[in-house]
């Protein structure tokens, strides 16, 4: 069954066509980065306007990529899946409205998909041998620009919240630290590149692991520590970078501590739940250093870890269409009252 997926939760306008939850026929992602980079982050009002301007063209392009004719393809599609939470509400609304229009016009089932759950599914859809009975239960770690959370994954469509960030998301911390270091937006890839040339032991930023058994995260203290180290104690963002500060060393040292928190929390959750499989997803799961350290943990503890391919780490609609297929099979249907919801489900 072919599912059309739409994702507009943040600053990517994305549309995909996916067969049986696995085979990607089209996966269009139009990034708005050029519109936001001069502000050092996503400006919600600009994001929603840009989604409105491009959503129709991105839908048309996805049908072209799949070799399907938009006008006559209604009969080959089984459902319209759309990311309806969490995210920027004005951005989500554009995708939700487009999905409702298509579902109404074509008389097709509408399926609201949780964007965070879809980030987990991105790793599953890429693993050919991933069948629920072999992989589950698993612990899932979502590390993105807006979210950092651990889940106990019972099925492709059911995830119990175990812990999440108390302040900044890890991707947000990468973005803010990149801005402090003058590395531009988006910060994750920029820090990761700068860190390649740096010494990860150069600066000891203190990791916050919270209470002994806690599965919650905190990243804002490290961000402030980077600011003070780079621009002076109690400095503001605009202050000049101190002489002698190595951007590469600070990037590598920050990345090291951020990664160590993610690895430790995943290890705690795996131990506590006795799980043997970990699933990682979200934009930060593209980070090479994170993958190296998680792979090391997996080797030591004999876990299996699933990651998405790089193209499916950051926001995309293939993961929405993929998970939409399973929700449809579970009998999930939404009606035209489906609303955008900015809040993370716990
Ligand atoms: O999943 P995503 O596209 O958006 C949300 O759902 O929030 O994640 C975007 C985040 C950004 O914060 C970006 O800086 C980060 O993922 N990111 C990375 C890397 N690539 C993207 N962070 C660290 N290392 C990377 N290689
Ligand atoms: Zn995302």
Locate the ligand 1 atom nearest the alpha carbon of residue 288 and give its number: 26
Ligand nearest to the CA of 314: 1
Per-residue pLDDT of the chain (346 residues; tens, 9 = 90+): 999 999 999 999 999 999 999 999 999 999 999 999 888 889 999 999 999 999 999 999 999 999 999 888 888 999 999 999 999 999 999 999 999 999 999 999 999 999 999 999 999 998 877 788 888 999 999 999 999 999 999 999 999 999 999 999 999 999 999 999 999 888 999 999 999 999 999 999 988 888 888 999 999 999 999 999 999 998 887 889 999 999 999 999 999 999 999 999 999 999 999 999 999 999 999 999 999 999 999 999 999 999 999 999 999 999 999 999 999 999 999 999 999 988 887 7
> Are 19 and 324 contacting, i.e. CB atoms less than 8 angstroms apart?
no
Q: Is the peptide bond before 86 cis (omega within 30 degrees of 0)?
A: yes
Q: d(Cα 119, Cα 143) in Å, to the nearest integer?
A: 9
Question: Which tokens hold the place of 76?
Answer: 């080959």
Protein residue whose Cα sits closest to atom 8 of ligand 1 = 283
pTM check: above 0.85: yes
Separation of CA 300 and ligand 2 centre (Å) = 29
Q: Report residue 83: phi and psi, to 5°.
A: -70, 120
In the reported structure, the alpha carbon of residue 156 is separated from the centroid of ligand 1 by a whole-number distance in angstroms of 22
CA 52 to CA 66: how far, in whole Å? Answer: 23
Q: What residues are in contact with ligand 1 under a 6 Å CB criterion?
A: 10, 144-146, 171, 174-175, 186-189, 192, 282-284, 286-287, 314-315
Task: Work out the end-to-end distance of the chain between its first and last CA atoms, rounded to an integer number of angstroms.
Answer: 30
Contact present, 166 and 179 (Cβ < 8 Å): no
3-state secondary structure (DSSP) of residue 110: strand
C-alpha of residue 161 to centroid of ligand 2, in Å: 17
Candidate of 116, 171, 178 to mutate for ligand 1, largest count of ligand atoms within 8 Å of Cβ: 171
| Distance between Cα 39 and ligand 2 center (Å) | 20
Instruction: Print burial letters for 204-214: b (CB count within 10 Å at least 16), e (below 16).
Output: ebebbeeeeee
């Amino acid at each position: 069954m072919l599912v059309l997926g739409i994702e507009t939760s943040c600053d990517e306008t994305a549309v995909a066509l996916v067969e049986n939850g696995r085979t990607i026929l089209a996966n269009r992602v139009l990034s708005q980065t050029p519109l936001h980079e001069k502000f050092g982050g996503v400006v919600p009002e600009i994001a929603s306007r840009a989604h409105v301007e491009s959503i129709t063209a991105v839908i048309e392009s996805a049908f072209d990529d799949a070799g399907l004719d938009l006008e006559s393809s209604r009969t080959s599609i089984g459902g319209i899946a759309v990311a309806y939470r969490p995210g920027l509400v004005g951005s989500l609304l554009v995708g939700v409205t487009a999905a409702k229009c298509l579902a109404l016009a074509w008389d097709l089932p509408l399926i609201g998909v949780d964007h965070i759950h879809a980030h987990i599914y991105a790793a599953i859809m890429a693993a050919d041998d991933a069948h629920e009975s072999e992989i589950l239960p698993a612990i899932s770690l979502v590390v993105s620009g807006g979210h950092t959370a651990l889940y106990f994954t019972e099925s492709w469509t059911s995830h119990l919240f175990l812990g999440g960030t108390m302040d900044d998301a890890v991707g947000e911390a990468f973005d803010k630290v990149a801005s402090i270091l003058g590395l531009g937006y988006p910060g994750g890839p920029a820090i990761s590149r700068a860190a390649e040339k740096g010494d990860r032991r150069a600066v000891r930023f203190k990791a916050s692991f919270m209470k002994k058994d806690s599965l919650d995260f905190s990243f804002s203290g490290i961000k402030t520590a980077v600011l003070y180290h780079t621009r002076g104690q109690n400095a503001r963002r605009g202050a000049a970078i101190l002489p002698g500060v190595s951007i590469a060393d600070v990037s590598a040292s920050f990345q090291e501590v951020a990664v160590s928190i993610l690895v430790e929390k995943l290890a705690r959750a795996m131990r506590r739940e006795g799980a043997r499989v970990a699933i990682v997803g979200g934009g930060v799961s593209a980070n090479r250093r994170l993958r190296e350290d998680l792979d090391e943990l997996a080797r030591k503890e004999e876990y299996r870890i699933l990651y998405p391919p790089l193209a499916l780490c950051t926001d995309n609609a293939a993961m929405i269409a993929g998970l939409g297929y399973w929700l449809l099979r579970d009998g999930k249907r939404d009606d035209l009252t489906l609303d955008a919801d900015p809040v993370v489900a716990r």
